[in-house]
Structure 1
Amino acid sequence: MEPLQVPEPARTGYARAGDGSELYYELYCSGLSKEHEDRASAESWPRAMFIMGFACTCDCWAPQLDGLLQQEEERPLEICVVDNRGIGRSSKPAGHKSYTTVIMANDVVAVADQLGWAEFHCVGFSLGAMVSTKVASMYSERIRSLSLLGVTGGRWQTLPATWRSFKLFVKSMFVKSPEDKAKMTVKFHFSRRTLEERVGFDKFRRKDVLFQEYLQCQKATTPQAGLHGQLMACLKHNLSKKDISQIRGGEFPVQLIHGRHDVVAHKKYARRIAKLLAAQLVEVEGGHMITRECGHEVNRLLAMSIMYPYTRSDRSRHLDRTMRRKSEG
């Protein structure tokens, strides 16, 4: 996990949702798309909408922006990252009824409409992956590919599924100081292997570095009024039979990327969703925050789907994805 070098956004702005809420977004372009002169061909450029998870702003996509926009590709690339309602610079409407994955899916499409995107690749992490399934179900004709990271089916699947995750969940409910919160957050989101990893020739472990990062982040941010609403959106989310039918019937490929040591979203739920959606599943050696912990591998998989999308019947090029499951624990 090297230091990140995220480029400046090409454009920032707000899109208005159906209920009047303002959704903040940032648009990033690869160097090639900035220099490309034939703007008439822009409709054929890969365009991707990235949707973050619970209590996370769009800044948390930094590992993906750093990796995907620096790749030496022959095609331009545009990526839009969004602050979900309830956090960051987006509106924070009161009342949990203003927060469902269906409402948040409509928010995403409102941003796409603001940008003039008729079609786009949809990438979601955690709560953002739940929202992405609704986007793909409700607007399947606009989806080029669907990538779900650290996803569950919502409702009871958001509850702790192992004894370790239950203990961490209970402890997190009673911590008060920023230091204790940072420690619990790090334990909750990263695998033990990564936390115990030595950093260079120093005596520090990776968990010490991550602790300082999360501590600084918590001190720099103020409590967000919409987090309760986002939590309720997780608990109310349901991947219905209609959603499954719409996604399976779509012409776009679907992939799931999941941490094998995830204690927030257990891997058995991802396996179940992959089977329901007839999707390809890749399990990587990480915890929940695979966007950071396994950034290189996640970026490689996302680049394959976004830059060179395949059809559901064309899986020969992507056998390496499913072959990795043979070593699952």
Structure 2
Amino acid sequence: MPFCEVAKHQGSLYDGVDASANNSSNNNGIKIFYRTYGHGTTKVLLVIGLAGTHGSWGPQIKGLTGEERSNDDDEKDGMTGVAQSGDNGEDVYGGNGVQVCAFDNRGMGRSSVPTKNSEYSTKIMAKDAIALMDHLGWKKAHVFGHSMGAMIACKLAAMVPDRVLSLALLNVTGGGFECLPKLDRRTISVAIRFLKAKTPEQRAAVDLDTHYTKEYLDEYVGPSTRRAILYQEYVKSISSTGMQSSYGFDGQVNACWTHKMTRTEIELIRSAGFLVSVMHGRHDIIAPIYYARRLAEKLLPVARMVDLHGGHLVSHERTKEVNQALHELINASETKMSPQDWSNFPKKSSRWSEKGLLLVCSQPELNLPSHEPTVNKPPFFSGFIGLFPQCCDSL
């Protein structure tokens, strides 16, 4: 099994990183499980969200490389593992020439599960990802993250901007209170169901309602609804990998809750010279699209906003559109497209004021804190922000 031992890649790479994130005790014995797919000079690092495993990136792995089998599976079977393109290359974005790495974050899947919340933060987990790049021998890569994984990707981009070719942020928020969905009858009901879910069957049922729109789940695929089909796949996937340990879940929740991008970090990304694509499902009940738009505006002029009809797992619900957008980001990066040509925001449209507030707010009733959030989480917080993608290896 392919693992990266994080401690082996500490040292000068992390010079300048604050002491709390560079504490070697956070990484002693930590192993990160990963898999690579496809072959080529274009490298793509995929960072998954809370409670997700590397397999949750299945649709994007297929779309970017044309491969479903990992390279280590091919090697075991004596296959070359060379990516295959579709007819005339139309349906396989990236096709040959792209190598993807997807991995399990600490606290989930086959990676190590530290037992202390202090061993989890988006900066610490970004260091895990950087160590993995070193382990693979990747000097630079396109970095794509989903949900908590997008928070981690932001930290990585601010820590080592010279190693990022492009940045894609799917269903992202700014962490802390931004992880709390708008409170209504539906989200409260879902949170209670999530907290009560003790079996793969119960978890699968609630995951479907948080990952996808009702419209998508109610569509018929042959004689069955998509909900019925996905339910069976989710139960199988969760049963095969097991429910996430409480240590891993609480630790990853802590990483989301304490995440914050400072003005300095935002400026490091804006001025680094790579392009950014912020993608989001308009009907995401977990990470409201307002926060993604606000982040995209902060990242002008290098950011493009891609909003799609879908829920939190828009990468599955709108696979074709998401893969196309990722393909466009890679191509724009490789052809060195200018930020002015890349961004789809109107000229001089940035509404980010000195106080960090948008003049136009899609959720004016939500009062955002002006201070750094404390680590003490309000009741039900874990339930709400825990509604991120569960491992979906079979999807």
Give me the TM-score of the superposition, normalised by structure 1.
0.85
Partner of 2:6: 16
The secondary structure found in structure 1 opposite 2:221 is coil
Q: Is the contact made by 1:154 and 1:234 (CA closer than 8 Å) also made in structure 2?
A: yes
- Report the CA distance between 1:316 and its aligned residue: 3.6
Letter in 2 for 1:286: G
Q: Is the contact made by 2:50 and 2:149 (CA closer than 8 Å) also made in structure 1?
A: yes
Partner of 2:109: 88
Partner of 2:290: 268
CA distance in 2, matches of 1:119, 1:82: 17
CA distance in 2, matches of 1:238, 1:319: 25
Letter in 2 for 1:114: H
Partner of 1:173: 195
Which one of 282, 285, 293 corresponds to residue 306 of structure 2?
282
Q: Is the contact made by 1:48 and 1:306 (CA closer than 8 Å) also made in structure 2?
A: no
Letter in 2 for 1:294: R
Kindly tell me: are residues 318 and 152 of structure 1, through their superposed partners in 2, closer, same or farther at Cα, counting changes over 3 Å? closer
Which one of 128, 137, 148 corresponds to residue 169 of structure 2?
148
CA distance in 2, matches of 1:247, 1:186: 34
- Report the CA distance between 1:317 and its aligned residue: 6.5
Partner of 1:5: none
Which one of 267, 288, 309 corresponds to residue 245 of structure 1?
267
Which one of 98, 105, 119 corresponds to residue 119 of structure 2?
98
Partner of 1:325: none
The secondary structure found in structure 2 opposite 1:56 is coil
The secondary structure found in structure 2 opposite 1:220 is helix
Q: Is the contact made by 2:304 and 2:344 (CA closer than 8 Å) also made in structure 1?
A: no
Give me the TM-score of the superposition, normalised by structure 2.
0.71
Partner of 1:124: 145
The secondary structure found in structure 2 opposite 1:173 is helix
Q: How does 1:1-329 map to 2 (within 5 A)?
A: 12-17=2-7, 18=10, 19-20=27-28, 21-30=30-39, 33=40, 45-70=41-66, 71=85, 72=89, 76-163=97-184, 164-200=186-222, 202=223, 204-225=224-245, 226-278=248-300, 279-309=303-333, 311=336, 313-316=338-341
- Report the CA distance between 1:178 and its aligned residue: 3.1
Query: Tell me, which stretches of 5 or more residues in structure 2 are unaligned?
Result: 11-26, 67-84, 348-361, 363-395
Kindly tell me: are residues 312 and 140 of structure 1, through their superposed partners in 2, closer, same or farther at Cα, counting changes over 3 Å? farther
CA distance in 2, matches of 1:100, 1:217: 26
Farther-moved stretch of structure 1 (309-318 vs 271-280): 309-318
Kindly tell me: are residues 198 and 98 of structure 1, through their superposed partners in 2, closer, same or farther at Cα, counting changes over 3 Å? same
The secondary structure found in structure 1 opposite 2:2 is strand
Query: Tell me, which stretches of 5 or more residues in structure 1 are unaligned?
Result: 1-10, 34-44, 323-327
Kindly tell me: are residues 275 and 198 of structure 1, through their superposed partners in 2, closer, same or farther at Cα, counting changes over 3 Å? same
CA distance in 1, matches of 2:96, 2:218: 39
Q: Count how many residue pairs are aligned between Structure 1 and Structure 2.
A: 298
CA distance in 1, matches of 2:128, 2:199: 34
- Report the CA distance between 1:12 and its aligned residue: 3.4
